[in-house]
Chains A and B, each alone.
Chain A
Amino acid sequence: MIPRTLFAKVWDAHVVHRFPEGPALLYIDLHLVHEVTSPQAFEGLRQAGRRVRRPDRTVATVDHNVPTGDRSLPLDDPIAATQLDALALNARAFGVELFDLASPNQGIVHVIGPELGLTQPGMVVVCGDSHTSTHGAFGAFALGIGTSEVEHVLATQCLVLSKPRTMEARFIGRRAPGVTAKDLILAMIGRIGTAGATGHVLEYTGEAISALSMEERMTVCNMSIEAGARAGMIAPDQTTFAYLEGRPRAPSNRDWGRTVMAWRQLASDPGAEYDRRVDVDAAAVAPQVTWGTNPGMVTDITGYVPNPDDFATAEERQAVERALAYMALAPGTPLAGLPIERVFVGSCTNARIEDLRAAAQVARGRKVASGVRAMVVPGSQQVKAQGEREGLDRIFLEAGFEWRNAGCSMCLGMNADVLRRGERCASTSNRNFEGRQGAGGRTHLMSPAMAAAAAVAGRLVDVREWS
């Protein structure tokens, strides 16, 4: 037998048919749906007189545009309300399970999938959202799709896809104290660029990856798309199985042993070949912070805003000049010490319980700097409830952070949670694109601990020097 990669094993097990022109018809185990990219898909089904082929493999929630403050109805934003109503109507009409604003299971689609045990090793998972790559942390092949493809999956439970190439991202050595999963992935993206893995499925390997908790692995896989990858994956192991055991939608106790045995077979075989490989010296990674307008524009917190002249091509120089103008940063400025007005702890990248604990540990007994508005937005209502059981809400509230309801919130600012023009934000989210968190807003991506420390200091600081 030719040794196969984790990705190849999952892919091979899901090919329903190979079209003569090349691509495969790939079977989808789990389709996650949210309010923003689904209404046109359901409408398409309706117009064509089609049904949802497997409502039992389809789960919906509301996350992108929901308010994270007052949730009493009617919502302040009537257009957002229309979109939420459309999803409720579609879910009812097509028999799809929906976790709506009133549900204790509501939350960011990529937080609730794993939390409920819906996401499992070896699955193919899709969602009309690019950060679907998050679910790859379980050894699933999980990818974001557009709305036409959402409609296709609803109607057929399959996706037409050409087989992506594979790329191994090997993280060698152990990460240093104060360095998080977010720093590992940002450092990798900084190295290979935002198109560095286009057309590829990344598999993260190495000692520094095996040592990560499930939640940290989700942070890493979440940002695969920021390197351009179709998906990111990590081989399932004891950490994965322990996380899943007993979750509401995980396989039952009766099937557990047999299921885990099958999951163990998924890891890449020794000698399996990848199309490409990148090595990252995990031990050398420092806490990261972005300075520009895409996630590849990133450096160590001890670093400086770069000079456009130091870049090789005219295109790069222009891009850096544009980014620095937008970010209002001068070349040579140290990143540590940069004053901020806003802090956002949240998003599908960093709003799980471990993220909130890390931020709370920094915030405990301290105060948010005057003039800074800091928000904590749990990734799900379950995470919120867990945080409250642990008293994290008290820590944040006493420190002057806002403690809000679950949703995507200021990661993309579709609701009222937005930056004002010119505001600078320390954010645990995944994208620092122009206007992403609000037109004219300036985003610096970093880990939860770094963001919490920035809230207290009122400026970017190196969390490793934080006593």
Chain B
Amino acid sequence: MTLTPFIRHSGKCAALPRANVDTDQIIPKQFLKRVARTGFGPALFHDWRFLPDGSANPGFELNQPDAAGATILIAGANFGCGSSREHAVWALAEYGFRAIVAPSFADIFTANCCQNGVAPVRLSGDGIDELVRRCRAGNGAYGITIDLEAQRVTDDAAFSAPFAMEPYRREMLLRGLDEIGRTLLEEPRIADFERSRT
């Protein structure tokens, strides 16, 4: 699968500053029966986004008019914990998010993001708090730029913070790599390894 490279992205922010948002919340199990990678966006955060009668929950962060059209989600610590379901990332991407900015992410979720061209950007807790403040004060007009090449998050009002990312994952995102194609180039090594074990 070829992906859109993620080099630099400027976009509007929405804030969901809750810790331990698990993948069951991001995409509840009743939506996991699809056999395609598409169709998950409408169910993103379903049980938070909609009331039991199916109407939009006016209290949920992403339902605020200010959050419409956001492409960057500012989130809490340990985002994406729990189930390995990649459907969570498919749902976030289809909804329109190109990056998640949080103090920390669960391991499997991080891998799933990078496989789908969604950047998991780790900032310090203080940095996240500041972004949440600015996002709320911005009344729907707050945006940031994520520069993956320079590994820095900036805004138009002097916010600037560096972030770290595993070099391999960064490379994948920057180049929109087909990881399988890349590994298959190592086929002789894989075959050698198998022979050495028998």
What is A's interface to B at a CB cutoff of 8 Å?
Answer: 16-17, 19, 21-23, 25, 27, 36-37, 39-40, 43-44, 48, 50, 53, 64-65, 77, 79-80, 82-83, 86, 128-130, 144-149, 151-152, 155-158, 160, 162, 164, 194-195, 198-199, 225, 228, 230, 294, 315-316, 318-319, 322, 412-414, 421, 431, 433-436, 439-440
Contacts and interface: CB of A to CB of B under 8 A. Distances in A.
Nearest to A162: B166
B82 A130 contact: yes
A9 to B, nearest CB: 15
Contacts of A162: 166, 168
Interface string B24-51: 1100111011111100000000010000
Contacts of B190: 16, 25, 27, 53, 156-158
Given A319-B18, A433-B22, A27 B167 contact: no
B85 A198 contact: no
A131 to B, nearest CB: 9
Contacts of B19: 315-316, 319
Nearest to A151: B180
B1 interface: yes
Contacts of B76: 315
Contacts of B115: 146, 148-149
A129 B179 contact: no
B179 A148 contact: yes
A267 to B, nearest CB: 21
B35 A40 contact: yes
A16 B187 CA distance: 10
B33 A36 contact: yes
Contacts, number: 176
Given A152-B180, A431-B82, A436-B24, A414 B107 contact: no
A157 B180 CA distance: 11
Q: Which 4 A-B pairs have the closest CB atoms?
A: A148-B115, A39-B35, A146-B86, A146-B112
Interface size class of B (residues with CB under 8 A): 35 or more
B107 A230 contact: yes
A157 to B, nearest CB: 7
Nearest to A295: B82
A152 B111 contact: no
A413 B29 contact: yes
Given A40-B36, A79-B33, A148-B86, A195 B77 contact: yes
Nearest to A130: B84
A86 B112 contact: no
Given A199-B107, A413-B29, 10 more contacts: A23-B168, A77-B33, A155-B184, A156-B186, A195-B106, A228-B106, A294-B22, A318-B18, A431-B24, A431-B83
B93 interface: no
B91 to A, nearest CB: 13
Contact of B1 (A148, A412, A421, A434): A148
B84 A37 contact: yes
B104 interface: yes
B8 interface: no
Contact of B168 (A19, A64, A148, A294): A19
Contacts of A195: 20, 77-78, 81, 104, 106
Nearest to B83: A130
A148 B112 contact: yes
30 contacts: A16-B186, A16-B189, A21-B166, A21-B168, A23-B168, A27-B194, A36-B85, A37-B86, A39-B35, A43-B35, A82-B35, A146-B89, A147-B112, A148-B112, A149-B111, A155-B184, A156-B183, A156-B187, A157-B190, A228-B78, A228-B106, A315-B19, A412-B29, A431-B22, A433-B24, A433-B82, A434-B47, A436-B29, A439-B28, A439-B52
Nearest to B197: A27
A16 B195 CA distance: 12
A82 B35 CA distance: 8
Interface of B: 1, 17-20, 22, 24-25, 28-30, 32-37, 47, 52, 76-78, 81-87, 89, 104, 106-108, 111-112, 115-116, 166-168, 171, 179-180, 183-184, 186-187, 189-190, 193-194
A36 B84 CA distance: 11
A65 B28 CA distance: 13
Nearest to A316: B19
A435 B82 CA distance: 13
B190 to A, nearest CB: 6
Nearest to B28: A435
A22 B172 CA distance: 13
Contacts of A144: 84, 108
Contacts of A149: 111, 115
A329 B104 CA distance: 29
Contacts of A435: 24-25, 28, 47
Given A146-B112, A198-B107, A414 B81 contact: no
A50 B168 contact: no
Contacts of A80: 33
The residue in A22, A53, A198 that gathers the most chain B C-beta atoms within 10 A of its C-beta is A198
Contacts of A156: 180, 183-184, 186-187, 190
A16 B111 CA distance: 20
B11 to A, nearest CB: 23
Contact of B183 (A86, A152, A436): A152
Nearest to B192: A16
Given A17-B186, A319-B18, A414 B32 contact: yes
A146 B77 contact: no
A319 B189 CA distance: 48
A83 B33 contact: yes
A82 B108 CA distance: 27
Contacts of B89: 146
Contacts of A130: 82-84, 108
A155 B115 CA distance: 15
A182 to B, nearest CB: 18
Given A40-B37, A439-B28, A145 B78 contact: no
A87 to B, nearest CB: 9
A79 B32 CA distance: 10
